Structure 1
Amino acid sequence: MSNQNTTGHQWRLDWPTGHDRVARAQLKSVPEDFRVEEVLAVADLIPGEGEHLCLCLEKTGDNTEFVARQLAQMAGCRGFDVGFCGLKDRHAVTSQWFSLYRPGMESSDDDFIREVAGNWRVLASGRAPRKLRRGEHSANRFAIVLRNVEGSKAEIDEALNRLGEQGAPNYFGPQRFGRDGGNLDRALKMDPSQLNRRAGRAKRGSRGGRDGSKNVLYFSAARSWLFNEVLAARVSDGSWTTCLPGEPAESAAGPTGPMWGDGGTTATDGQETLERKVVGQWPELERLFAATRMQPERRPLVVKPQELDWEWRGDDILAIRFVLPPGQYATTVLGDSFELEDMSLGRHNE
């Protein structure tokens, strides 16, 4: 599927699957059907003393950035002084960590936590020496209920077994690109030089800083979309699970794709040729990277859910549990086996 919007661009937002879909199902019929637990990467990050108060909150109906803004207001600190590891969906029950810069205020932590608990359930708390940053958690633990499942139980069980053994194409989810690819349209209009870190640091906390944050979002969307396009080409030619000649040595553990940067890709040989050919079809996006200092990176082409388990709750209700590394999408994983209808989409404007 490709979506055309006001700029006249058509953005593909649905990419080929690695395996045949064997069933249809409804996702997020209620928020409790989609549970996410954030697991921190560093076991000793929370205990002990430090300038940052860390809170693990359970929330429903609020997205991450809204909660961060509310916490900043409650704490009387700048928005920048609230840290978190990743963005979590509004239409779900999620537990995630936030850090707040509160140096020398340990004696009032209990009162502040009680105030926070009036809005969200506080699961744990502690102090840390530094702010939590994006991607710092080690994993996300998912518990998902699919309803109105249509398909053969035997084929679904077989598909889930295969998913656990072989994994799925590691696409970025379409939510990253905005409605009808709107974030990609905005990326084409932005000044990529604003992404250079030295310029951004001077504007922290200002309106320019907020605009810079949006630019990072749009740039990231462009980078992610180009990765998806390269992965789609690898899925289509059947090479997405194997390393090609030219795979960068640092990613020799498995096949990877480009997170485009200044200079393009670190791949060589035939793999470099393939990646540059795909990205070259979108010169307007490719040009964004020539004006930045963003270094090329790599992302695995295959995502394999860990601790995968499932149970049938009647004929058409399926509960699935698994763990994914940061930056991997549960809906992408399940979408390789199921044609999913996201029931929360109609509630986005509520």
Structure 2
Amino acid sequence: MNALPLAFGAPLLTAAIRSVPEDFQVDELPAFEATGEGEHLLLDIRKRGANTVAIAKRLAQWAGVPEMGVSYAGQKDRHAVTTQRFSVHLPKRVAPDLAALESEEMQVLASTWHNRKLQRGALAGNRFKLVLRDVQGDHEAIAERLQTIAARGLPNWFGEQRFGRDGGNVPAALQMFAGRRVRKDQRSMLLSAARSALFNRVLAARVEQGNWDTPLDGEVWMLDGSRSVFGPEPMSDVLAERLARFDIHPSAPLWGVGELRSTGAARALEDQALSDEQAIALRAGLEQAELKQERRSLRLRPALMQHAWLDAQTLEISFALPSGCYATAVLHELGEVVDASRGEIDASRNEVAAAE
């Protein structure tokens, strides 16, 4: 994300994140209350140093069901301490011993029955608590930047998680579009990466022009907390008031089949941002895959934002984000934040290479 423009001026700090898993804590905010009946066991699980897919496989083995019988609302990082909900399909409503799941990597916090399988995206958002270590930067300037983000919001970037190690998912998507065969799960991931890269290009153009949170002629508006869009329509005092109170946001395309909904200056900017050779190839591949044209908000506003200095070089930041938004977008506006866990990944890869 260091290549993306900044909305609020020059970087203010350098720091490290994920020196230990506890430095990156995420708690899912559920989108619904369990019914207390049905044949799907909902489990609230806290995990440490394990990815979501590995936990799902362990639950399937524990329950004696196929892996497709276990579902989750969203994937969470491995190098973190996260709380998330899983569902396990148990038609006979007989759950194995929950104590058998307890380990250093996972603990079951709560369990209840529900009448439907947990669907992907079925969460209201995520609450984050991040600890930045070895911080170099002016404390007062950092506090002012955080206050600006809390008041004004920030660009709604797709985070680097979408693009894979060293951004490799976009080149891989281009290879797939050129005919390379991939597994079904990889195909979904690469389609998402291609869409996200095109969205970030449009958002980058608007950040550079300073209009990522203000309207252009021909704007398509997105309702806050929803995928619903409306417009274009002439700017009015009513729209200006709704924009100011974060009820609506400017939007950009998630590419797919169909005409862009935007017109005028907004359409011209989107066309220009997506006009180079790589963007054209990504657009064609997404259309061939028959994804539909959709939109995504250009702006997000963190809720419940707080910060505290644990010592002179250790900053704790907490906030909540809607589903589908990335904590790295917040860190990006502060400065250069290095992921310390990547050193562990590189070291483990080197050990494997040496053994081979």
* TM-score where L is the length of structure 1: 0.86
Unpaired runs of at least 5, structure 2: 222-228, 232-247, 349-356
| Residue of structure 2 equivalent to 1:169 | 155
* Contact 1:24/1:149, CA 8 A, preserved across alignment: yes
* Contact 2:35/2:115, CA 8 A, preserved across alignment: no
Partners of 2:134 and 2:249 lie apart in 1 by 36
| Residue of structure 2 equivalent to 1:320 | 317
Partners of 1:211 and 1:128 lie apart in 2 by 32
* Contact 2:307/2:318, CA 8 A, preserved across alignment: yes
The one-letter code matched in structure 2 to 1:279 is L
| Residue of structure 2 equivalent to 1:36 | 26
Three-state SS of the structure 2 residue aligned to 1:87 is: coil
1:216 aligns with 2:206: no
Three-state SS of the structure 1 residue aligned to 2:273 is: helix
Partners of 1:213 and 1:52 lie apart in 2 by 24
* Contact 1:83/1:131, CA 8 A, preserved across alignment: yes
The one-letter code matched in structure 2 to 1:262 is V
Shift of 1:191: 5.3
Unpaired runs of at least 5, structure 1: 2-12, 195-207
2:81 to 90, 93, 101: 93
Shift in alpha-carbon separation, 1:264–1:14, aligned structure 2, 3 A? farther
RMSD, matched Cα = 2.1
1:339 to 320, 336, 339: 336
Shift of 1:259: 0.8
| Residue of structure 1 equivalent to 2:174 | 188
1:226 aligns with 2:214: no
Shift in alpha-carbon separation, 1:270–1:180, aligned structure 2, 3 A? same
Partners of 2:302 and 2:53 lie apart in 1 by 27
Three-state SS of the structure 1 residue aligned to 2:111 is: strand
Partners of 1:242 and 1:193 lie apart in 2 by 40
Partners of 2:128 and 2:186 lie apart in 1 by 28
1:120 to 87, 106, 123: 106
1:284 aligns with 2:270: no
* Contact 2:220/2:250, CA 8 A, preserved across alignment: no
Three-state SS of the structure 2 residue aligned to 1:277 is: helix
Partners of 2:274 and 2:62 lie apart in 1 by 45
* Contact 2:126/2:323, CA 8 A, preserved across alignment: yes
* TM-score where L is the length of structure 2: 0.85
Partners of 1:99 and 1:264 lie apart in 2 by 38
Report the number of matched residues: 320
1:66 to 33, 40, 54: 54
The percentage of counterpart residues that share the same residue type is: 40
Q: CA deviation digits over 1:301-342, x for unaligned, max 9?
A: 112110001111121111111000111111111211132111
Partners of 1:264 and 1:334 lie apart in 2 by 34
Shift of 1:154: 0.9
1:242 aligns with 2:214: yes
